[in-house]
C-alpha cells in the first residue's frame, strides 16, 4: 500500500513551492517587511490602548494599566501581611515560652525552700502534746515559768 492521498498531495506541493518560500523567508526584504509590520502593529496597539484608556477614564472606569497597578499593589500587600503574621506568631510563641520559663523557675524556687506553713506543721508534729502542754503558758500565769 502506498501513502495516503493527502500525504502525496502535500509532498508534491511542498517540493514545488517549498524552495521558493524558503528563499523568500531567508531574504533581507522579508525580514525588513516583517519588522516593519511588527512595528506598525505595536504602534497601532498603543494608539488603540490610549484611546480606550481615555474613553474609560471619561466614564470613570479603570483602564487595564490601572488594574495591573492595583493588582501589583495588592500582591505586595499580601506579601507584607504574610510577613507580619509570621512575625506576630513568632512573638506570641516567644512570649508564651518566656511565660512557661518564668512559671517553671518560680516552681523550682518554691520547691527548694520550704514554705512557712509546712515548717510550722513539721515543728508541731515533732513536738509531743505533753511537751507542748508543759511549755505553754496559761492565761493567768504571769511568772513566765
pLDDT in tens, 1-51: 567 999 999 999 999 999 999 999 999 999 999 999 999 999 999 999 999
Domain span at residue 82 reads 64-113
Asked if residue 108 is part of any domain, the answer here is: yes
Q: Look up the pTM and report it.
A: 0.42
Asked if residue 51 is part of any domain, the answer here is: yes
CA 113 – CA 119 distance, rounded (Å): 10
Indicate the number of domains in the chain.
2
CA 8 – CA 23 distance, rounded (Å): 23
pLDDT score recorded for residue 92: 96
Residues 80 and 51 placed together within one structural domain of the fold: no
Name the residue among 60, 38, 64, 40 with its Cα closest to residue 50: 64
Residues 89 and 100 placed together within one structural domain of the fold: yes
The overall average pLDDT reported for the chain is: 84
Asked if residue 29 is part of any domain, the answer here is: yes
Residues 44 and 71 placed together within one structural domain of the fold: no
Quick check: 53 and 63 in contact, CB under 8 A? yes
pLDDT score recorded for residue 141: 52
Amino acid at each position: 500500500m502506498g501513502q495516503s492521498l493527502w500525504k502525496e498531495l502535500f509532498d508534491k506541493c511542498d517540493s514545488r513551492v517549498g524552495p521558493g518560500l524558503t528563499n523568500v523567508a531567508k531574504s533581507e526584504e522579508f525580514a525588513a517587511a516583517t519588522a516593519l509590520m511588527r512595528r506598525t502593529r505595536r504602534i497601532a496597539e498603543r494608539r488603540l490602548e490610549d484611546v480606550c484608556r481615555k474613553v474609560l477614564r471619561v466614564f470613570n472606569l479603570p483602564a487595564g494599566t490601572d488594574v495591573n497597578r492595583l493588582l501589583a499593589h495588592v500582591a505586595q500587600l499580601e506579601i507584607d501581611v504574610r510577613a507580619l503574621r509570621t512575625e506576630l506568631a513568632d512573638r506570641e510563641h516567644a512570649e508564651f515560652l518566656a511565660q512557661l520559663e518564668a512559671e517553671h523557675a518560680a516552681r523550682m524556687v518554691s520547691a527548694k525552700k520550704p514554705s512557712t506553713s509546712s515548717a510550722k506543721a513539721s515543728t508541731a508534729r515533732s513536738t509531743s502534746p505533753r511537751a507542748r502542754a508543759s511549755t505553754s503558758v496559761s492565761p493567768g500565769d504571769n511568772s513566765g515559768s
